[in-house]
Amino acid sequence: MKIFLTGGTGFIGSHFLQQALDAGHQIVAVQRTGSKPRIPLSREPVWLDGSLDDNWSAPLSNCKILVHLAAAGANPQQLDWNELFDVNVRQSLSLWRQAAKAGVSRFVICGSCFEYGKSGEHYEFIPTNAPLEPANAYAASKAAATMAALALAVETKIELVVLRPFHVFGEGEETSRFWPSLRKAALAGRDFPMTTGEQIRDFVPVKIVAEHFVAALSQTGLPPGEPKIQNVGTGEPQTLRNFAQHWWKQWQAKGSLKFGKLPHRPNEVMRYVPQL
């Protein structure tokens, strides 16, 4: 199957690339000049240097599926509302419209659990039809992008699935995020300060998330013009404290976990667990 991919050098994108190439798919992937995948690949896709804003009509016309993983703000970055909405909504929508016009028949788009925002605290397990109550600019831009994609799919009669991964971790993750920071401290024999850790999450390994995106390439039950949203998780909620303790023991850390040394983030949602 021939695939047009964005975000292939990112965290989830790198793992998706590896698995999709291993499965025999042909992939044309957009990359920013000089960017490299987060993990080593056993073989390479056809790389195209450029941005979402470029004219991709020609390569899109030879592809059956668009896999859209590119996003601004997924990693901790100092991005403002204008930049987030420009990349995640305007530029993404421009690409999707190009793809629909070029005859791409299926879109597989990466959403975010953070689209649910404060709504997550009202559910033991968040259904995909839960109200979207985003609590920051990144989450708001992803929610707006999902709404645009759903409407475009209905209007143009394409097959669309939006996958919303929950708390993804693993090799290639941005070093400033929780799991890599925890590992760095553990392997260095240092103490690790953190919050009290009562936040409840569904921590999902990145390889499992990539498997879901690969499965969506050939997923049945996606009628044209009838888009679907799917949560991606393990179905195993746990506290941040228990997650940290598990990996601390796994790495045989010599330091100590210092619970309660850091405050919670502003507007932090205390429970994010998907209905699968």
111-166: pLDDT as tens digits: 999 999 999 999 999 999 999 999 999 999 999 999 999 999 999 999 999 999 99
Confidence of residue 34 (pLDDT cuts 50, 70, 90): confident
Amino acid present at 86: D
pTM of the model: 0.95
- Residue 10 three-state SS: coil
Cα dihedral 134, 140, 138, 162 in deg (nearest 10): 90
pLDDT reported for residue 68? 98
Asked if pLDDT for residue 243 goes beyond 60, the answer is yes
Does residue 74 carry a pLDDT above 90? no
Distance CA(80)–CA(57), nearest Å, equals 30
pLDDT above 70 for 109: yes
Cβ contact 60:104 at 8 Å: yes
- From 3.40.50.1820, 3.40.50.720, 3.30.1490.190, 1.10.1040.10, which CATH number describes the 2-169+203-232 domain? 3.40.50.720
Determine the average pLDDT of the residues in 78-95.
93
- 3-class SS at 238? strand
* 3 state DSSP class of 156: helix
Does domain 178-201+236-272 correspond to CATH entry 3.40.1030.10?
no
Per-residue pLDDT, 229: 98
Burial of 223 (0-12, 13-18, 19+ CB in 10 A): exposed
Domain map (residue ranges) of the chain: 2-169+203-232, 178-201+236-272
**Average pLDDT over the chain, rounded to an integer:** 95
If you ran DSSP here, which 8-state letter would residue 133 be given?
B
Say yes or no to pLDDT of 201 above 60.
yes
| Contact between residue 259 and residue 240 where contact means Cβ atoms under 8 Å apart | no
Distance of CA 188 to the CA centre of its chain: 29
DSSP H/E element including 177: none
Q: How far apart are CA 166 and CA 170, in angstroms?
A: 13
* Model pLDDT, residue 78: 63
Using 50, 70 and 90 to split pLDDT, how confident is the model at 223?
A: very high
- Using an 8 Å Cβ cutoff, are 259 and 195 in contact? yes
Measured distance CA(102)–CA(203) in Å, rounded: 37
112/168 Cα distance (integer angstroms): 10
In the prediction, which pLDDT does 33 show?
Answer: 86
Question: How confident is the model over 163-183, as pLDDT tens digits?
Answer: 999 999 999 999 999 999 999
Q: pLDDT above 90 covers what percent of the chain?
A: 92
- Report the alpha-carbon distance of residue 180 to residue 174 in Å, rounded: 7
What are the E-state strand segments in the chain? 2-6, 26-31, 46-49, 65-68, 106-110, 159-165, 167-169, 192-193, 200-201, 203-205, 228-232, 238-239, 257-258, 271-272
pLDDT above 60: residue 76: no
| Structure tokens that stand for 209 in this block | 């998330």
Number of neighbouring beta carbons within 10 Å of residue 221:
8
pLDDT at 100: 97
